[in-house]
């Protein structure tokens, strides 16, 4: 394959490039080297020498057209990333994410006879709350809405059912109704619907993969809007406590970036998921507090997490992946345990420096009433 990865100089894109290059494929990246992610604005040192880099914006038709020359497979990862920031930089996020995807697709269609596969990164954020069951009635597959403001203001964190009792989280399947609660999540829903609908209309196989919480080496540690593992690492590297919202017992599905890259490679080389949306996660829930404690312990920092007992607009309580469809369609199952993945992340962190911009990001949310 001759693969173009938009956003291919970033955290996930570079790991997928490594995987594809090792398998004998050719890889080109189109990336704008956004300084929020790449502070120097230069080619990252971790990029494989064999990965060709085009610097440009996915909203620039000419840049995308040049990057597509000689390409037969397109992976669209380029996006402005940050749930909280998306709620006040609405125009920028909508432009980069939705318009960027539209431009990529228009340029792909000019070469549609040469394109064999499209893959787009979606996100677990489009689900909103995860999937639940009622332990008192046995009912499963419950898709609750966002928790009421009055409940969160009372610091009552658990999702409750119609009978007033707490619900229990269960694996979230691809069939769950989508209830995005942020501008970022709305854009990710746009991504998968745009690629799947255009692919179907023009007969180009397309796959949308819903990424759960990805962590690992090369995360942008100085970007306060990136994944929680990187945010906590940035704080601890500067001997400051990780800030944990709510009570810290909310759970997510943390998948090592190397597992995720393997799942993406399978989606590109197999046709089982063509035309479908598929979760990529581990199927195992881990609390936010566990992540903070694991990183602090691994870095040898005697710093306790700061449990804020605050909540952010649109935050959810629990969401972890139902992985059965990925196993059935792609033969994919995550292989790296949370502990092993964290050990590798911690080994990499030992040599890193990070600018801690978390307080400023938090203050921006508080000033706009988005953290309460």
Complete domains list, the chain, with CATH = 2-130+172-312+320-367 (3.40.50.720)
The pLDDT value given to residue 343: 93
Going by C-alpha positions, the residue among 336, 350, 322 that lies closest to residue 233 is 350
CB atoms within 10 A of CB 94: 18
Going by C-alpha positions, the residue among 320, 292, 172 that lies closest to residue 236 is 292
The pLDDT value given to residue 358: 74
What is the C-alpha to C-alpha distance for residues 258 and 243, in angstroms, rounded to an integer? 27
CA distances from 359 to 6, 144, 235, 355 (A): 30, 31, 10, 11
The pLDDT value given to residue 363: 83
What is the C-alpha to C-alpha distance for residues 173 and 200, in angstroms, rounded to an integer? 23
How far is Cα of residue 194 from the mean position of the Cα atoms in its chain? 18
Written as six digits, the tokens of 96 are 């980069």
The pLDDT value given to residue 29: 98
The pLDDT value given to residue 366: 84
Is residue 252 within 8 A of residue 213, CB to CB? The reply is yes
The pLDDT value given to residue 354: 74
Is residue 248 within 8 A of residue 305, CB to CB? The reply is yes
What is the C-alpha to C-alpha distance for residues 361 and 63, in angstroms, rounded to an integer? 32
The pLDDT value given to residue 226: 76
Which phi and psi (to 5°) does residue 40 adopt? -85, -15
3-state secondary structure the chain: CEEEEECCCCHHHHHHHHHHHHCCCEEEEEECCCCCCCCCCCCCCCCCCCCEEEECCCCCHHHHHHHCCCCCEEEECCCCCCHHHHCCCHHHHHHHHHHHHHHHHHHHHCCHHHCCEEEEEEEHHHHCCCEEECCCCCCCCECCCCCCHHHHHCCCCCCECCCCCECEEECECCCCCCCCCCHHHHHHHHHHHHHHHHHHHHCCCEEEEEECEEECCCCCCCCCCCCHHHHHHHHHHCCCCCEECCCCCCEECEEEHHHHHHHHHHHHHCCCCCCCEEEECCCCCEEHHHHHHHHHHHCCCCCCCEECCCCECCCCCECCECCHHHHHHHCCCCCCCHHHHHHHHHHHHCCCCCCCCHHHHHHHHHHCCCEC
CB atoms within 10 A of CB 25: 17
| CB-neighbour burial class of residue 207 (10 A; exposed 0-12, middle 13-18, buried 19+) | buried
- Side-chain-side CA neighbours of residue 171 (13 Å): 13
Each residue's pLDDT, cut to its tens digit, for the chain (372 residues) gives 999 999 999 999 999 999 999 999 999 999 999 998 999 999 999 999 999 999 999 999 999 999 999 999 999 999 999 899 999 999 999 999 999 999 999 999 999 999 999 999 999 999 999 999 999 999 999 999 999 999 999 999 999 999 999 999 999 999 999 999 999 999 999 999 999 999 999 999 999 999 999 999 999 887 777 788 888 988 888 899 999 999 999 999 999 999 999 999 999 999 999 999 999 999 999 999 999 999 999 999 998 999 989 998 899 999 999 999 999 999 999 999 999 999 999 999 887 877 777 778 778 888 888 888
The pLDDT value given to residue 230: 86
The pLDDT value given to residue 352: 82
Is residue 30 within 8 A of residue 58, CB to CB? The reply is yes
What is the C-alpha to C-alpha distance for residues 18 and 190, in angstroms, rounded to an integer? 28
What is the C-alpha to C-alpha distance for residues 83 and 315, in angstroms, rounded to an integer? 9
Written as six digits, the tokens of 217 are 């080496």
pLDDT by residue (tens digit) across 141-182?
A: 999 999 999 999 999 999 999 999 999 999 999 999 999 999
4 forms beta bridges with: 28, 74
């Amino acid at each position: 394959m001759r693969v173009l990865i938009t956003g291919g100089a970033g955290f996930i894109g570079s790991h997928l490039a490594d995987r594809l290059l090792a398998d004998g494929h050719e890889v080109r990246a189109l990336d704008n080297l956004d300084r929020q992610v790449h502070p120097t604005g230069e080619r990252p040192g971790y990029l494989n020498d064999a990965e060709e880099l085009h610097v440009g914006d996915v909203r620039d038709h000419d840049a995308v057209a040049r990057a597509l020359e000689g390409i037969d497979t397109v992976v669209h990862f380029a996006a402005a990333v940050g749930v909280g920031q998306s709620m006040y930089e609405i125009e920028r996020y909508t432009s980069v994410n939705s318009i960027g995807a539209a431009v990529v697709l228009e340029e792909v269609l000019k070469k549609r006879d040469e394109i064999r596969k499209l893959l787009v990164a979606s996100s677990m954020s489009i689900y909103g709350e995860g999937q639940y069951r009622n332990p008192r009635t046995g009912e499963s597959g419950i898709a609750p809405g966002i928790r009421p403001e009055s409940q969160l203001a009372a610091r009552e964190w658990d999702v409750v059912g119609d009978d007033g009792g707490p619900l229990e989280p269960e694996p979230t399947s691809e069939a769950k109704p989508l209830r995005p609660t942020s501008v970022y999540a709305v854009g990710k829903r746009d991504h998968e619907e745009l690629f799947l609908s255009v692919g179907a209309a023009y007969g180009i196989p397309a796959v949308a993969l819903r990424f759960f919480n990805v962590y690992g080496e090369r995360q942008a540690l100085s970007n306060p809007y990136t994944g929680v593992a990187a945010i906590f690492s940035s704080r601890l590297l500067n001997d400051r406590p990780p800030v944990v919202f709510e009570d810290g017992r909310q759970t997510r599905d943390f998948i090592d970036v190397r597992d995720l890259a393997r799942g993406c490679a399978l989606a590109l080389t197999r046709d089982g998921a063509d035309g479908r949306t598929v979760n990529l996660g581990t199927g195992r829930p881990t609390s936010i507090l566990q992540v903070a404690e694991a990183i602090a312990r691994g870095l040898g920092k005697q710093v306790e997490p700061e449990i804020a007992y605050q909540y952010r607009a649109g935050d959810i309580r629990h969401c972890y992946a139902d992985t059965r469809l990925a196993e059935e369609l792609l033969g994919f199952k995550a292989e790296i345990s949370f502990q092993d993945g964290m050990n590798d992340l911690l080994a990499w962190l030992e040599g890193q420096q990070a600018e801690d911009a978390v307080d400023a990001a938090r203050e921006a949310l508080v000033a706009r009433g988005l953290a309460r």
